[in-house]
Each structure stands twice: as C-alpha cells, then as structure tokens.
Amino acid sequence: MNVNEHEYYNDLANWSFDEFDYVSENYTNWVYEDKINEYANINSRILDLGTAGGEKLLKHFPDCAEILGTDFSEEMIKTANENLARSGRKNVHFKVMNNLEMTTPDEYFDIVTARHTIIDAKQIYKTLKPGGHLILRGVDKLDCWSLKKMFSRGQAFHDVKPISQIDYENILEAGFKDVELVPLHVIEYFKSKEKLYDFLLKVPILMDISEEESNEYDSMPIDYELFEKYVSENTTEKGIKLIRRYYGIVAKK
Ligand SMILES: C[S@@+](CC[C@H](N)C(=O)[O-])C[C@H]1O[C@@H](n2cnc3c(N)ncnc32)[C@H](O)[C@@H]1O
C-alpha cells in the first residue's frame, strides 16, 4: 500500500522518535547533539527542521536566545507543543513548515539543524546569518544494508547516488564552505525479535523510498520468514544486531 509521506508522519505523531528500545554502540566520535552544543552559545538562534514531536530538541539543545522547531506534519507540531508545555523550557517555539518551502526570515538563524529529514540546502543558506552553521545527520544508503539486501528493498535501496553524496554536493552548490561530511558507524542491539519487529513496523527502513522517486511511502507487509532468517543470522550475545550507517555534516555560511 502506498501512503503519502505527510500522512505517514501525521499518523506517527503520538509516538516518540526518542523512545526506541535498543542499545547503541558508536564506532565514530562525531555526535550530533555534541556538535550543536559546540557551535551554540547563549545568544544563538537555532532552527530545527523536521523536529517531529520536538523530543530531541527539548532534551538536548542548549538554552539560548531562541529555538524554533518546525515540521510539515500538523499532528507532530501539536505533539511538540504538548511536550514543550510539559518541559518548562523557555525561548522555544514550534510551527508547521515544509522544509522545501521555508518561510523563515533571511539571515536570521545562527544554526540550522536537521536530523533524519529532507532538506533544501539553498533555502537553509538563505535563512542563516553569514558565518552561521548547518548541522545535519542523515540516514545513508548503506544503512541496514544486510537487512535491506535480504528483503531486496528498503529506504534508498535503489538509489544510484548515496543520499550523503547528494546532500554534500547540494550543500557545496548552495555556497557553504568548510563542509565536513563524516560517515557514522553505529550498531544497534535489540533485546528481542518482537522489539525489532515493532521497530521495523514504525520506521521506514524497509519501505521502498528512493531519492529519485516521489514522496510515496510503500508500506509492504514484512515477510515473517525472511525476518526470522535475519534474526537467526544476526543474534549475538548483546542482542539482535542491526548495522546502521548514518552521516553527519557541518557546513558554514
Ligand atoms: C524520522 S523523523 C525525525 C525526527 C527528528 N528530527 C529526530 O531526529 O528524531 C522525520 C521528520 O521529518 C518530517 N518531515 C519529513 N518531510 C518533511 C518536509 N518536507 N518538511 C518538513 N518536515 C518534514 C516528518 O514529519 C518527521 O517528523
């Protein structure tokens, strides 16, 4: 069944992207949240694109002059405002905005962050102050490759160019300098196959989403026999292994 990306995220609005039940092992020392804290100071204005329910922003972003979290899902922003009220944080607000049709003022933000969401480098460049930074973490083509290969499908499975390279080239083309692209190697261990299965039902890893194609999410059912095969081949003492491949980018205007 094909679902529109916007509907897909609206339906997930009450589920926190911060509550995955796995243990993570990082093999690189580039940490997205640390980068934000490194570049921000008390006077910073930060824009977080594709903020979802704002969980990461509210938990990890430092106190500063202004933080705006945006998402194209109205339901996500509703959840973010509920999370904000509970958090007691100051100088934070949320609004609905499409990352591809940004309505934020020109040369206004010191930092734009984007974690696991689509971006338009030119529009980000416009809204950043000169000297401001873009800090991004993405999910690369090789993410969960052994799983996607077993199913012969999944996020970016059919992409000709890895998403990291597309982002990197677009960021350079937009005019950014000092662009640093870092591959991030992470292994996640799930305690049980039920937890892994539940995770795969929620995240779009096994959905055929391609950079070359539209924003339709193809939510085919997960073949349980193949899933069992993956589990039996990847069960370790630490749990069921899922090899992740993210990428981090820091770029300066
Ligand atoms: C995988 S979630 C990541 C959420 C959060 N940044 C995090 O790292 O936990 C992707 C988010 O991007 C949002 N999104 C996807 N496409 C978007 C677009 N074109 N404009 C704005 N938000 C978008 C979705 O609604 C969703 O909340």
For 127-174, the pLDDT digits (tens) are 999 999 999 999 999 999 999 999 999 989 999 999 999 999 999 999
pLDDT tens string 180-216:
999 999 999 999 999 999 899 888 899 877 665 555 5
Instruction: Give the whole-number percent of the chain exceeding pLDDT 90.
Output: 81
Beta bridge partners of 177: 252
What percent of the chain is modeled with pLDDT above 70?
91
Three-state DSSP at 54 gives: coil
Ligand 1 mutation target, pool 47, 71, 97, 137, most atoms within 8 A of CB? 71
Instruction: Identify the residue with better confidence: 11 or 132.
Output: 132
Which residue has tokens 């095969």? 229
Residue type, 138: G
| 100 Cα nearest atom in ligand 1 | 19
pTM over 0.85: yes
Place of tokens 């677009």: 170
Domains and CATH numbers, the chain: 2-252 (3.40.50.150)
Distances (CA, A) of 160 to 4, 165, 246: 23, 11, 17
Q: Are 215 and 100 a contacting pair, CB within 8 Å?
A: no
What is the token pair recorded at 122? 């030119």
8 Å CB contact between 85 and 46: no
The pair of three-digit structure tokens given for residue 25, joined into one six-digit string: 């092992």
CA separation for the pair 77, 115 (Å, rounded): 16
Q: Which of 160, 137, 154 is nearest to 249 (CA)?
A: 137
- Taking the C-alpha atoms of residue 202 and residue 12, their distance in angstroms, rounded to an integer, is 8
Q: How far is the CA of 71 from the centre of ligand 1 (A)?
A: 6
Pocket residue to mutate for ligand 1, from 9, 59, 79, 137, most atoms within 8 A of Cβ: 9
- Please give the distance, rounded to the nearest whole angstrom, from the Cα atom of residue 70 to the centre of ligand 1: 9
**d(CA 135, ligand 1 centre) in Å:** 15
